[in-house]
Amino acid sequence: MDEVKNIICRCEEVTVEEIEEAIENGATTLNEIKRWTRAGMGLCQGRTCRKNIARILSRKTGLDVKELMPFTYRKPVRPVRIELFEEKKNKGDLK
């Protein structure tokens, strides 16, 4: 069973080892880990893995979790179909 990957971000299939490696290579913030590994860049935008990654970062660096700001949040906060950005789809009122 040892070959089972220890995934932490399931959207981007990033493993715990990859997070630890990023920290060992100098990442000190959640945003740095995200840019380095893509953890938190997927469909859920880190809603599932963010706290777990913060705990690893805290354990490995001694930084307090309360100082570890979450990944930068950007709109859209929900997955949106690219066709919605077409101009014609945006015309007209709600009803």
Partner 1 sequence: MYKTSIAVIGGGPAGLSAAIEAAKAGAQVVVMDENSRPGGQLFKQIHKFFGSQQHKAGVRGIDIGKELLEETQKLGIEVWLDTEVCGIESNKLLWVVKNKTKSVQVLAERIILASGAIENSIYFPGWTLPGVMGAGAAQTFINIYRVAPGKRILMIGSGNVGVIVSYQLLQAGCEVAAIVEAAPKLGGYGVHTAKVCRAGVPFYTSHTVLRALGENKVESAVIIELDDSWNPIPGTEKVFEVDTICIATGLTPLAELAWIAGCRFKYVPALGGFVPLHDDNMETTIEGLYVAGDVTGIEEASSAMEEGRLAGINTVASLGFYSDKQRERLCNEVRERLDALRRGPFGEKRKTSKEEIITSRKEIQCPQ
> Is the CB of 26 or the CB of 76 nearer to partner 1?
76
Strand locations in 1-95, DSSP E? 7-9, 14-15
Q: CB–CB of 23/61 below 8 Å? A: yes
Closest CA to 18 of 37, 42, 41, 45: 37
> Is the CB of 27 or the CB of 40 nearer to partner 1?
40
Pairwise CA distance, residues 73 & 67, whole Å: 17
Q: Which of residues 33-72 bind partner 1 (CB under 8 A)?
A: 45, 47-49, 51-52, 65-66, 70
Q: Assess 88 for contact with partner 1 (CB under 8 A).
A: no
Binding site for partner 1 (CB under 8 A): 1, 4-8, 10, 16, 45, 47-49, 51-52, 65-66, 70, 73-78, 80-81, 84-85, 89-90, 93-94
